[in-house]
Amino acid sequence: MIKITLKDGSTKEYPKGISVISIAKDISEGLARNVISASFNGRTLENSSEITENGKIEFYTWDDDEGKKAFWHSSSHVMAQAISELFPGIKLTIGPAITNGFYYDIDLEDHKISESDFSNIENRILEICREKHDFKIRSSSKKNAVEFYKNENNPYKLELINDLKDGEITFCDHSNFTDLCKGGHIPNTSLIKAVKILNISGAFWRADQNNKQLTRVYGISFPKQKLLKEYLQNIEQAKLRDHRKIGKNLKLFSFSNKVGLGLPLWLPKGVDLRYRLENFLRKAQKKAGYQMVMTPHIGNKELYVTSGHYDKYGEDTFQPIKTPKENEEFYLKPMNCPHHCEIYNSQKFSYKDLPVRYAEFGTVYRYEQSGELHGLTRVRGFTQDDAHIFCTEDQLDSEFKNVIDLTLHVFKTLELNDFSVQISIRDANNQEKYIGDTVAWEKSEKAIIKAVKDKKLKHTIEEGEAAFYGPKLDFMVNDALGRKWQLGTIQVDYNLPERFDLTYIDNNNQSKRPVMIHRAPFGSLERFIAILLENTAGNLPLWLTPSQFIILPISEKHEKYCKNVLNLLENNEIRGLIDNRSETIGRKIRDAEIQKIPFMIVIGEKESDQNLISVRSHGGHDYGAMKVEDFVKIIEEKTKI
């Protein structure tokens, strides 16, 4: 007999060799009906897997992430089979489950797949699914595995096998299809009731641009047709929140090919929004002891040689700007830190002056490949809410935590509650990517991890994602379609102070190096506004929105009274406008709704006679008639930040 511990901590005894599904059946019929995979002592298992030792079991259904993973991973096998049948001679590589669905990377050789093939692939997949083939996992010796893929003439699988140890290699069979696979499947293909091929794209073998480009086919599948329909509808809904669409409709920003790719043009309403965000942060930063600085958009080549940017990005950036006679070389600034280091160097600091905190809304320019550009979220020219803190090593911990607090304050005020925190450290195997010595890196990484742990922030650690000069702490937020974007960022840097020979005099009259913190709570105004628009569907917080109200006169007769109301509100620093067109009130309301203006003030005979205003909010809530003072109170209450 073996002892099995369940999720709730209780234990049960079963005969050695009992299958996962039998245990599920023993617990309840309902569980047995819904379980699609399981894990045992952290290892992924299938329903048919037999258990031979004591341990902890966890069952997964479609409602668990792990269950979905097994479902989608299994689906990718079926898709691979369908595509192999329709396009003979192709070579399969990898096909994992992803956050939403699955993909398979395929070397298509001479074949080409395009959208017109999607329905054929889908139909074949569904056919296979209906045939109810069991997924069967079996071990294989390394020798046999190698032989199998030598016969198949598949160098990709051979490369994968090469990285695996003999004894841990398994295959998965279903129908007449075999794939190298570590397991985690649903019992059989018939559970898959709905499938959709979503798109195809190029993807490099092992994510390396120097390798051959494969064709990646993305798909998603569901145990019910209805779920697929809902999924597709959700995507359609999410597309309505696309910041590019909202930005255009609300006249916030635009792009022009004549100006250049990835170079946003800010329209008056967008600038209004930006200034409000900037001023909000200016105020918070002033309170936190920052001083504003300003630096030019270009810098001498020497500046970037010193900082290391030239070595790292010199070749792969905008080409230098040269003076006609002296032949001096300037670069558009990719970051503000070198300039800020030189501001620090413009005077001598005592330990009593530290920390010094320089902030700037600094516009920077970076070359991004044309295919990487994306609305306001990835551009070639953008403004960082940048600041650099120069402090002593003793001050590092508390300074870092203060920056975390400031960033959290920004996110909270803007109602971005759904974010994740990511610590990005070096890739220890690829040291050439970074500048500075190991000791400095280790110190920086430790400082960040300690601060995050002390602050009890739930976080992930990503190896190899650090900046070239130091590790960082990033605040990530999803866009409407669930793509992750880095917004706020905090970085610890021992390297630039060294390179720029930054010093301060300590209390023993000794020259010492300060530590530097780079930080930007928004990250960039562009990306932040983009994500804010997608998260709010364009319904910005009242304190931020360009127009807080619009006055809608019933007829021209009330023009004078409307102007009085406008003046009164403006005197209370509430901003808005009057819709003076000779349109019906229904029309004016509709247009105000489309412009997402938070409050509509309807004024007709009734209101002007009684010295009142009728208030309606965006979305149709009727506040009824009230005095202007009462409306002012409502707005003041709602704009407290």
**Interface residue with RNA, options 68, 426, 527, 616 (CB under 7 A):** 616
Q: Could you tell me the smallest distance in angstroms from the CB atom of residue 329 to RNA?
A: 24
Return the number of the residue (379 or 389) whose C-beta is nearest RNA: 379
Q: Are strands 18-19 and 50-51 parallel, antiparallel or unpaired?
A: antiparallel
Q: With binding defined as CB under 7 A, does residue 372 bind RNA?
A: yes
Per the structure block, which two tokens stand in for 308? Answer: 């290391």
Residue 160: count of CB within 10 angstroms of its CB: 17
The amino acid that residue 439 corresponds to is V
Contact map string, positions 522 to 561, toward RNA, x by CB under 7 A: --------------------------------xxxx----
Active site residue 384: yes
Per the structure block, which two tokens stand in for 461? Answer: 């650690």
Q: How far apart are the first and last CA of the chain?
A: 63
Q: Could you tell me the smallest distance in angstroms from the CB atom of residue 198 to RNA?
A: 7
**Interface residue with RNA, options 316, 456, 619, 637 (CB under 7 A):** 619
Q: Contact 592/577 with Cβ under 8 angstroms?
A: no
Q: With binding defined as CB under 7 A, does residue 167 bind RNA?
A: no
| 249: phi then psi, degrees, rounded to nearest 5 | -65, -40
Q: Could you tell me the smallest distance in angstroms from the CB atom of residue 148 to RNA?
A: 11
Q: State which of positions 77-96 bind RNA (CB under 7 A).
A: 94-96
Of 185, 274, 380, 518, which residue is the catalytic one? 518
Omega of the bond prior to 155 within 30 degrees of 0, cis? no
| 177: phi then psi, degrees, rounded to nearest 5 | -110, 135
Q: Is residue 102 within a helix (H) or strand (E), and if so which, with residue range?
A: strand 101-107
Cα–Cα dist 307/303, whole Å? 6
Q: With binding defined as CB under 7 A, does residue 51 bind RNA?
A: no
Q: With binding defined as CB under 7 A, does residue 31 bind RNA?
A: no
Q: With binding defined as CB under 7 A, does residue 259 bind RNA?
A: no
Q: How many residues appear in the chain?
A: 641
Active site residue 111: no
Cα–Cα dist 318/432, whole Å? 23
Active site residue 388: yes
Active site residue 285: no
Active site residue 226: no
Cα–Cα dist 552/581, whole Å? 9
Cα–Cα dist 114/200, whole Å? 8
**Interface residue with RNA, options 585, 626, 632, 634 (CB under 7 A):** 585
Q: With binding defined as CB under 7 A, does residue 74 bind RNA?
A: no
Cα–Cα dist 627/355, whole Å? 50
Q: Could you tell me the smallest distance in angstroms from the CB atom of residue 524 to RNA?
A: 17
Contact map string, positions 210 to 229, toward RNA, x by CB under 7 A: ---x-xx-x-----------
Active site residue 124: no
Q: With binding defined as CB under 7 A, does residue 415 bind RNA?
A: no
Residue 301: count of CB within 10 angstroms of its CB: 17
Q: State which of positions 108-127 bind RNA (CB under 7 A).
A: 112-116
Of 337, 341, 391, 562, which residue is the catalytic one? 337
Per the structure block, which two tokens stand in for 490? Answer: 């905090």
Per the structure block, which two tokens stand in for 425? Answer: 């450290």
Q: With binding defined as CB under 7 A, does residue 98 bind RNA?
A: yes
Return the number of the residue (255 or 528) whose C-beta is nearest RNA: 255
**In whole angstroms, how far apart are CA 587 and each of 22, 347, 547, 553?**
65, 62, 18, 12
Q: Contact 93/83 with Cβ under 8 angstroms?
A: no
Q: Contact 379/368 with Cβ under 8 angstroms?
A: yes
Of 216, 333, 378, 388, which residue is the catalytic one? 388
Contact map string, positions 175 to 204, toward RNA, x by CB under 7 A: ----xxxx----------------xxxxxx
Q: With binding defined as CB under 7 A, does residue 351 bind RNA?
A: no
Q: With binding defined as CB under 7 A, does residue 236 bind RNA?
A: no
The amino acid that residue 627 corresponds to is K
Pick the stretch among 24-32, 308-316, 366-374, 390-398 that binds RNA (CB under 7 A): 366-374
Of 69, 105, 124, 384, which residue is the catalytic one? 384
**Interface residue with RNA, options 2, 86, 146, 164 (CB under 7 A):** 164
Active site residue 244: no
**In whole angstroms, how far apart are CA 454 and each of 52, 87, 247, 458?**
42, 55, 39, 11
Return the number of the residue (370 or 508) whose C-beta is nearest RNA: 370
Pick the stretch among 167-175, 293-301, 310-318, 633-641 that binds RNA (CB under 7 A): 167-175
Helix (H, G, I), strand (E, B) or coil at 554: coil
Q: Could you tell me the smallest distance in angstroms from the CB atom of residue 31 to RNA?
A: 27
Q: With binding defined as CB under 7 A, does residue 589 bind RNA?
A: yes
Return the number of the residue (6 or 628) whose C-beta is nearest RNA: 628
| 245: phi then psi, degrees, rounded to nearest 5 | -70, -50
Annotated active-site positions, please? 337, 366, 384, 386, 388, 472, 518
